[in-house]
Amino acid sequence: MEAGLEIGDALTARLLSRVQRAFPLDPRPFAALGEALGLSEEQLLSRISELKAQRVIRQISGIFDSRRLGYQSCLVAAQVPPSILEQAATAINRHPGVSHNYERAHAFNLWFTLTVPGQADLPAEATRLGMEAGAIQVRLFPTVRTFKIGVILDVGGDDGGHPALPATAASPSGTADSAGARRLSAREIAAVRALQNDLPLVAHPFLALAKEAGMAEEELLAHARQFIEGGEMRRFAAVLFHRRAGFTANGMVVWNVPAERVVAVGQQFAGYPAVSHCYQRPCYPDWPYSLFTMIHARSQEECERHVREMAGAAGIHDHAILYSVREFKKTRVRYFEEPLPEQPPRETRCRPQADSPS
């Protein structure tokens, strides 16, 4: 388990706080951000380079909304014999649509996010992955409603006090998972392909990305701004390595909420700064938990303190905390690039969940 790194000076904390929220869509973004922080362009580039070398900053790139790009995604839970857990994770990680894959402390011990093109058969893909992994059973948890999404860790900077701000804010009723995608032009697809890349640490990084996309720098930046306005891109920003930034207790908290209260409680939980994600997902006969919240904390004690506060305020006491034990994969999905892997016939070794969600 990777140890946390102390963010030792106020300027670095301010830098990390800002770049998680938004990175300047400017021809010389490091100069623009450096000016705001009282640093030269060279000094800022040096700091960011060091933070990447220390594995504090994971990536600076566009953070896209899969649905708005015409993709479908799903959280998938697999029950895997502990003796083959690492091999199972390796098999699952080979799929280009798997962006997150964690071992969690639960009978369903392997949880991953699968994203596929809109025309693909997502349940079949999830089942096939379970078969390859040797899972006992696989269960799909698609998003029914989004109340909040967007990890922004409180590293003590000038925007501190908020471990997470919603990149997708909750409306009074949340956001149903049915947002339609508009048809992107070939130029826009080329821009997505470029903007999803990790930003080069050079004075004119967007110029380098634009050349790869076969367009002018200003055209790429114009597409980026348009994507943010249209919702295809949630933000252009940095993502941190949670544990290296000091957040070592990452708990997915699942809640048994009466159906008639799901929207109200989801909205309430989304308002907590400690909550980075809040979703409604399906229930099953042996899985009564309809709300999923993600909490990133510096200790299990801190995480559990947040959970007690939320439970008491909402009057919802049937819950479980599934802590992240190991991170097997965390990356960005590569949109408009990777084809689905071939699907040859295989002997079935996985028993998919047969029950229908309630």
The catalytic site residues sit at 100
Give the separation between CA 120 and CA 272, rounded to whole angstroms: 35
**Beta-bridge partner residues of 115:** 73
Reduced to 3 states (helix: H, G, I; strand: E, B; else coil), residue 266 is: helix
Q: Tell me the pairing of strands 137-141 and 351-352.
A: parallel
CA distances from 260 to 36, 264, 288, 358 (A): 47, 8, 14, 14
Give the separation between CA 77 and CA 135, rounded to whole angstroms: 10
Q: What beta strand segments (E) does 88-232 contain?
A: 98-104, 110-117, 137-141, 145-148, 175-176
What are phi and psi for residue 32, nearest 5 degrees? -65, -45
C-alpha of 19 from chain center: 16
